[in-house]
Structure 1
Amino acid sequence: MKNTVAKQTLTGMMLLVVALFSLLPIANIYEGGWPENYETETVSRLFSVDLLEGRINFLLFSIGVSGDYDRVIVGKDGWLFLGDQYGDGLSKGRGLTSVSEDDISRWINSMSSRQKWLTSKGIPMVFAIAPNKHSIYDEFLPEWASLQHPNSTDRLINSASQLGFRIIDMRPGLIREKQNYDHLYNKTDTHWTMLGAYFGYRMVMRELAGLTGQLRYVRIAEFAADPSRGKSCCLANMLKLQDHLAEDYDSRYRVNFEGIRGSICLAARGQTGTDPGACENVNNRRIDIPKGTIAEIVNELALNDLAVLIIKDSFGLAHGRLFNNAFSHSWHLHYTTIKNERAFKQLVEKLQPDAVIYQIVERDLYKKQFYQFAGK
């Protein structure tokens, strides 16, 4: 009897799955229309679960629940935050994922040794942390995800300070600026907006000025960041919510600042700093830096006659145009481009920069490929 009931239950479930699967094409045509290229896209388009997944996630989103907690956290007022799949950033901020004192010591020893070597060459180094979004807008986190202090970032900064290694902690400055300026980060993006990036740039420039002498930089009045509305971004896309949110769901800034146009040229070097090709003229706009390459930028009309090596991650893209305008000569590279300490020293010896800027997002602070490089 039990076997009969089990077989009937299994059969019923299988029939239900088949019925639901057979309804997918109807639902997809109703929601998204017939595929434009029906010869190559018909099967994949008609039997795609993306629209169904997006609708389910939207229903969950509307009650403050995420359909994929590992990647995206749904906060208050429609804010989205990065989940722990990316560097355990949220758990570290909440104090749930502990970073050992040994890890902190290794981090400080590695970075301070690098700084001392640069100092021996007469090259000042600035190190800055670009904050996680939840570190600045923690009031929009769900109640269960409130931050705790001191967390792993606090402990690193405090320990480094005691040992004489200076870190620009951008969190207090950005928290202060958000009292006067809206939307330093987008609701549905992991990154800061152009305005948030501007304040990060200003902190770095002020710190560098204290090491190299007086520097000129773009003032907030010159930046002309006009607020606007636009479509949702990356975190919403991870949950397939973009088609279910309003076209003007998120806030952003249109930036009129372009720096000194027509004076910049760009060349690409290999990861070891091999000689670049021809330097081609470009407008002073954001320049993407592919991993494994070094972008060399020359600006004859820059605000400062200074050659700077800038080691960064994706948070360094938004204010790239500002740094391009600040320095007569700069090299931009993703931190994974440098494979080991020896390669770093060889690169510095080859390029001979006047200063080095390190900037990394808070969630990646403890990646060994960052502070101890990727290999031997």
Structure 2
Amino acid sequence: MTAVGPSGLRPDSGFEEPKSEGGRLTWAQRWHRVRLIPLILLIVAAIVATLAGYQTRQAIAQEQFEPPEVAPASEEPRLPTAQCQPGLVDTVAESPWTGDERDASEVVWNEQIRSNPDAQLYVPGQDGWVFWGDTQANNFSQSLGRSFLSEEESEEWGDYFRTIDEGLSAQGIDFVIQIVPADWSVYPEHLPEWAQELRGPTAFDYLLDAHPDLPIVDARQDLRDAAANGAVYAPGNSHWSPYGAAIGWERLASCLGAVDDKYQALAPLQFSSVGDMPVISEFAAYGFPTTDTGWGTPVLDQAPPKMQATINDGSVLDADAAKGLDMLQLPATTVTDGAQSDLRAFIVRDSQGNSAGPTWQTGFAETKQLTSNLGSATEQMPDVLAEAADYKPDVVIFEMTERYLNWIPVPPAE
């Protein structure tokens, strides 16, 4: 499941343990530990229940082997296609994971994945690349299209986003969904050689086909094209680089400009070259060193504007808009002096927003950034409509990592 904070930390209970004598535990120390047991059991039960429920849904979907149906050709796209969803040039149309081909594909999968105890954690690719295994939201199964949305799951995503879209529209607020492509969506050539013939349409593909009425921005082809000029991802890290985020912003800004003239001031970041920033491999614990190829980092033509950020502990930071806010600093608000526009954006996001933040903060005079908690077993997803009604933004941007389509959104309780 997704992490909701640094491990080892817990809220201050106000209880101070008395000193022990002779190294023995006092009654108060024993009680302090024992009284945590119900809470620990409750958390474990919640995680087990969430995993069990999802695994049951996946078992049903895999028995059916049927992806969501394509929407009728007569259904109008929600956003201007050319500016918002240009699509992939090199698409994978046929799936080796449905129909008669599935059994043969599963044989190869079992040989390469099920026979390897490490493959559930990570899968080495070509040219030094490493990809998360299926312990991370069925990541590797998703990369090949082996794990996809069932008809029911696709409808649940559609209903969730449609509810937000219609509710915001009633408030006069625009809504866009910025799905950050996975590293394997942008660099499929770096997947293992044995996996190349097993690639099929992904959950992202199926969602776009089944629900053209959803306001989804698709930057996959932009990132593939931009990879020729700099690293939009690193071989050992699943987060897009600052350069990748800048390319994603170019697509998002173009899309919003096509939605309404008030967004015309939003523009690509101006940079003359792409440098490298060191990045730590997410797989260091499994013996992979820090990646040699760093994150692509735009070298801006001029200094970024100044901003003031108020983070979740109440601290006020004076910085430039090129400083990204870590997910653990959220909720946070920013005010940028000299932004591209005088508009306000409410952004529901995950850790990909660490790199994307500078683009939002440069484009909008004010932002509020809030964690989505998508996939968390312990934290509830925010009430986007209520938060937007309180903040009154011009636009709500729902940014999410592509592999998180594996999880079905759980709206906040009434």
TM-score, normalising length: structure 1: 0.70
Matched, 1:363 2:403: yes
Aligned to 2:224: 175
Structure index of larger Rg = 1
Q: Which of 342, 351, 367 is 1:314 aligned to?
A: 351
Amino acid at match of 1:196: G
Contact 1:190-1:234 at 8 Å conserved across structures: no
Q: Which runs of 5+ in 2 are unaligned?
A: 1-114
Comparing 258-267 with 124-133, greater Cα deviation is found at 258-267
Aligned to 1:152: 203
- State the distance in 1 between where 2:116 and 2:301 align: 38
Amino acid at match of 1:144: W
**Deviation at 1:278?**
7.1
Cα deviation, 1:345-367, whole Å, max 9, x if unaligned, reads: 22111111111111111100232
Q: Determine helix, strand or coil for the equivalent of 2:389.
A: helix
Aligned to 2:331: 294
**Deviation at 1:225?**
4.1
**Deviation at 1:99?**
2.3
**Deviation at 1:218?**
4.6
Matched, 1:250 2:287: no
**Deviation at 1:233?**
2.4
More helix per residue = 1
Matched, 1:264 2:302: no
- State the distance in 2 between where 1:105 and 1:206 align: 28
Q: Determine helix, strand or coil for the equivalent of 1:305.
A: coil
Aligned to 1:339: 380
Amino acid at match of 1:153: F
Amino acid at match of 1:239: Y
Structure 1 residues 188 and 280, CA gap change in structure 2 (3 angstroms): closer
Q: Which of 137, 140, 143 is 1:90 aligned to?
A: 140
**Deviation at 1:257?**
2.9
- State the distance in 1 between where 2:331 and 2:200 align: 37
Q: Which of 155, 180, 191 is 1:130 aligned to?
A: 180
Amino acid at match of 1:127: I
- State the distance in 2 between where 1:241 and 1:375 align: 42
- State the distance in 1 between where 2:327 and 2:372 align: 11
Amino acid at match of 1:197: A
> What is the root-mean-square deviation in Å for CA atoms of aligned residues?
2.8
**Deviation at 1:249?**
1.9
1:88-237 map, 5 Å: 88-146=138-196, 148-161=199-212, 164-178=213-227, 180-213=228-261, 214-219=263-268, 222-228=270-276, 230=278, 233-237=280-284
Structure 1 residues 375 and 68, CA gap change in structure 2 (3 angstroms): farther
Cα deviation, 1:208-261, whole Å, max 9, x if unaligned, reads: 1222314334545x224433474x62234131232xx7xx72233344339755
Structure 1 residues 119 and 202, CA gap change in structure 2 (3 angstroms): same
Contact 1:188-1:236 at 8 Å conserved across structures: yes
- State the distance in 1 between where 2:215 and 2:148 align: 23
Cα deviation, 1:279-332, whole Å, max 9, x if unaligned, reads: 542232333344583110011311101000011111111121121111111111
Q: Which segments of structure 1 move beyond 4 Å, counting only runs of 4 or more?
A: 258-262, 277-280
Q: Determine helix, strand or coil for the equivalent of 2:229.
A: coil
Contact 1:174-1:196 at 8 Å conserved across structures: yes
Aligned to 2:389: 349
How many matched pairs? Answer: 294
Amino acid at match of 1:150: P
- State the distance in 2 between where 1:288 and 1:71 align: 28
- State the distance in 2 between where 1:67 and 1:335 align: 32
- State the distance in 1 between where 2:214 and 2:242 align: 29
Contact 2:327-2:353 at 8 Å conserved across structures: no
Q: Determine helix, strand or coil for the equivalent of 1:365.
A: helix
Q: Determine helix, strand or coil for the equivalent of 2:177.
A: strand
**Percent of aligned pairs with the same amino acid:** 21
- State the distance in 1 between where 2:387 and 2:268 align: 32
Structure 1 residues 143 and 262, CA gap change in structure 2 (3 angstroms): closer
- State the distance in 1 between where 2:271 and 2:235 align: 22
Structure 1 residues 373 and 259, CA gap change in structure 2 (3 angstroms): farther
**Deviation at 1:336?**
1.5
**Deviation at 1:151?**
2.6
Structure 1 residues 207 and 241, CA gap change in structure 2 (3 angstroms): same
